[in-house]
Amino acid sequence: MKLFAAHALLPGGWATDVLLETDAAGMLVAVTADAGADGAVRAAGPVVAGMPNLHSHAFQRALAGRTGARGGAGDSFWTWRQAMYAFLDRVDADAFQAIATQAYVEMLRAGYTAVAEFHYVHHDPAGRPYADPAELAWRIVAAARDAGIALTLLPVFYAHAGFGGAPPLPGQRRFVHTVDGYLRLQARVAAAARDGGFVAGAAPHSLRAATAGELAAVVAGCPVGAPLHIHAAEQAQEVEACIAATGLAPVAWLVERAGVDDRWCVVHATHVTADELEALARRGVTVGLAPTTEADLGDGTFPAAAFVARGGSFGIGSDSNTQIDPFAELRQLEWSQRLALGRRNVLGAGAGTVGAALWSAAAHGGARALAQPVGALAAGSRADLVVLDTRDAALAEQRIDDVLDAAIFGPARRPVRDVLVAGRWVVRDGRHLRDDDALDGFRRALRAVAQRG
């Protein structure tokens, strides 16, 4: 396939008259600026690399808009978590898959072309393993395949309710594994990935959910080169509890005792010190940010400007899927820095604009975290790309240098026109090819969940 774009964001910046050539496997084999159309399909707008979503809990898409009733002055992540547990008690395997399919369809429509699923729901609603212990993992694989999104599947190890090996709570019964049981699951997923068209990694949930010995065993069992993700330092209460239990804050513990390196994605890292930022950047760790979720849960603000200044790599994710929109994530990220620092245009770099810098940096960091060859329009990358919709009033008549800033910071409601994954169109003119089927299944799933309430 050949695609011609009047404008495309390449690793060196915006280029004109760009010819993108893909092979039968959906990989870019040549990207040429100042080229002729040469009979190629013409993109209907400016083209950018598709955005990797480095942190998703797909089932939480069904919770969006359902946790707004105030529970008192102490509402926080921890009270939201109780609502999530209660909802999850009513979600069976069929509903789980239907919800994930809808979430993935919405991701593609929004401009995400790949997703890292931080998959921690393993058992049935009573906490019993399914006849096939990997049942819900296969449901995630099926949902991603049906939607057409590229998948990095991260089975999660979860064993405890708090530091020091505290026994799990009743609401966590669907998550819990022994180390041996988890390693068997992880091995099955890794074996299936080789022929199943997805990437497999591993994810110890957090230091509060895994002891030091368990975390070491999970990391040792992860295939060489596979990605490793972990939640850390999302809430101040978590940091205080970790210091009380271990003498170190979570990120410092991971640096000093887990030897985190460029295979790792530390998700959130909201409450960190300057020394911890320096260590993460020096070791090549990607920080996974979910700014709209972090804002929704009242977690706090990651010091992104200080991290980027140290050469740190970051990506973005939709996490709880209250918002599924990479433009909104980048807007919230930049605005959080402006509010914290009292100045504008914080995360831009070089001579380019903030919008182009944010998109390129997040796409690059997300590709590292997913261990997928994506995130840039360059030969050797997969042909995952987004065509922006200049019919949206926010993008109308914008200079090409400003078009991503308009999409991120302007009043755009539908900045994405078309989406290509591995050389195949999955979104055309703003509509996913499975929009109607996915929504019908999602509605049926929500009705079934409500009937079990």
- Considering 268, 271, 364, 432, which one is annotated as catalytic? 268
Q: Determine contact, residues 163/242, Cβ cutoff 8 Å.
A: yes
Strands 41-42 and 51-56 come out as: unpaired
- Considering 296, 299, 319, 384, which one is annotated as catalytic? 319
- For the question of residue 268 being annotated catalytic, the response is yes
- For the question of residue 405 being annotated catalytic, the response is no
Tell me the catalytic residues: 268, 319
